[in-house]
Amino acid sequence: MKVFDTSILLLKKNIKSHLTYSLSLLFSIVVCFIFINFSDNPVLIQSDRARGILDPEGFNLPLSKGLPFVIIVFSWWMILYASQYYFNQRNNEYSLLMMSGMNLFSLMKYSLIQIEMILIIVIPLSFIIGSGALFIFNKMIYDYLHINHSIFDIPISTYITTIYALFMLVLVIIVVLIGSLHKSSILSLKHIMKNDYHIKKASKWSIIFVLIYLNCLINFFMIDGDWIYFEINSIVGMLGAFGILKKCIPSLLTYLKKTLIGINSYIILSHLSLSLTSTASLVFLMTIQVTGIIPILALQDPFSNEYVTGIISYIFIVILLLVSIIYKLNIELDNKDYEYAILEKIGYTKKQLKYLMHQENIIYYTMILLIPMPYLLSISYQYIQMYHISIMLLNLLLLFYIIIIFISLMITNQSYKKIFWRKPS
């Protein structure tokens, strides 16, 4: 059978896994398209002087361009992240194809054909949805800012830039990800679901991460300056939080596993350690971005382009990074799938296993909510005192953050339940 025929046949047979990947691409491309338009739209771009960074008058920092660029980079990253998960899911499929005689060139051609079929549908659909979303956003923003301009005016450069970015991303996906799969796919049949994560014992220096986190938290109430000092303090403090999530808490959980009574606690804490270790960097990035936007909003005129752009950027940053966390947890789900299958064979019922997964996810999302929260509340309090930022706005931003984390918990629970819908191997 020819490579093209094989690609189309298996694309139809595994339509569910391809649909998940297509939806993730659709969401990321729509976000990319929207924010490329924000940075290209001359109506929404104006020179903004960010006050108090280098001098009393500040310097030219067009936030209407800067913040959209950050979101665009995250949307590109999400596409690569989704692609990695997509290819990891199909590891065994690639292994069997290579064992049946398909070489690397044919495998790349096989994958490229399937991705082309997906993109042929996703790209036009994303432009349609993105354009519709922009009409709504333009209507809301123009009315709020009292701008007299057509909401249907989308620069042609938005479409060209988005297509160019996607072309470069497809090259990276095909060359890098498929190339790495070629080296590891054969071995995956011998080491299916092998967990390579090892939690090292915490050293006495791990307490430094806790001290850094607490010291920077106290500094928020002692700093009397511009937003850049708050942001630097947040970055340093979140480095401490990163160490806590990556080193301290997993090591503490490893110790607790030896002291707690009950095998259920052992299972929950083992998986929790793995989840915290693998997603610490994402929690770090999310907190830095969110704590950076709050001071920016405090410095802007509530009826300026930058203020509106900042709020929209905050919403999409939280969503994108939490979607990244969900993806990361799903990547690790293959390891847990094997472990839960073993537990089921030794006597655990599906009801008991679902309870363990539910408890694990609740503890995990509670931790990633509580660790950044003191920083968010401290910065919010300071800017209420210093710049009289709206308390209602801050409450809405924090409430949105909490709601999205709760929704992420529900999605993760649903993903974990799919383990029990699979046919036993």
**What b/e string do you get for 102-131 counting C-beta neighbours within 10 Å, with b at 16 or more?**
beeeebbbbbbbbbebbbeebbeebbebbb
Cα distances (angstroms) measured from residue 409 to each of 23, 114, 365, 404: 19, 31, 7, 9
Give the tokens for residue 204: 């006495």
Q: Are 11 and 114 in contact (CB under 8 A)?
A: yes
How far apart are the C-alpha atoms of 309 and 315, rounded to whole Å? 10
How far apart are the C-alpha atoms of 316 and 329, rounded to whole Å? 20
Q: Are 244 and 275 in contact (CB under 8 A)?
A: no
Cα distances (angstroms) measured from residue 211 to each of 205, 206, 244, 275: 10, 9, 10, 23
**pLDDT for res 352:** 79
Residue labelled with tokens 């014992």: 201
Three-state secondary structure along the chain? CCHHHHHHHHHHHCHHHHHHHHHHHHHHHHHHHHHHHHHHCCCCCCCCEECCCCCCCCEECCHHHHHHHHHHHHHHHHHHHHHHHHHHHCHHHHHHHHHCCCCHHHHHHHHHHHHHHHHHHHHHHHHHHHHHHHHHHHHHHHHHHCCCCCCCCCCHHHHHHHHHHHHHHHHHHHHHHHHHHHHHHHHHCCCCCCCCCCCCCCCHHHHHHHHHHHHHHHHCCCCCCCHHHHHHHHHHHHHHHHHHHHHHHHHHHHHHHHHCCCHHHHHHHHHHHHHHHHHHHHHHHHHHHHHHHHHHHHHCCCCCHHHHHHHHHHHHHHHHHHHHHHHHHHHHHHHHHHHHHHHHHCCCCHHHHHHHHHHHHHHHHHHHHHCCHHHHHHHHHHHHHHHCCCHHHHHHHHHHHHHHHHHHHHHHHHHHHHHHHCCCC
pLDDT in tens, the chain (425 residues): 577 777 777 777 777 667 878 888 888 899 999 988 888 777 776 544 444 344 444 445 556 667 788 888 888 888 887 777 777 777 677 777 777 777 777 777 777 788 888 888 998 999 999 999 999 988 888 888 888 888 888 888 888 888 888 888 887 777 766 665 555 444 444 444 444 444 455 556 678 888 888 888 888 777 765 667 777 887 888 788 778 877 777 677 666 655 555 556 667 766 777 777 777 777 777 777 777 777 777 777 777 777 888 888 888 888 888 887 887 777 667 666 667 777 777 777 778 778 888 888 888 888 888 878 888 888 777 777 765 677 888 888 888 988 988 998 888 888 777 766 554 44
**pLDDT for res 53:** 41
**pLDDT for res 128:** 93
The domain spans of the chain are 1-192, 197-425
Q: pTM here?
A: 0.76
**pLDDT for res 419:** 66
Q: Are 63 and 196 in contact (CB under 8 A)?
A: no
**pLDDT for res 367:** 82
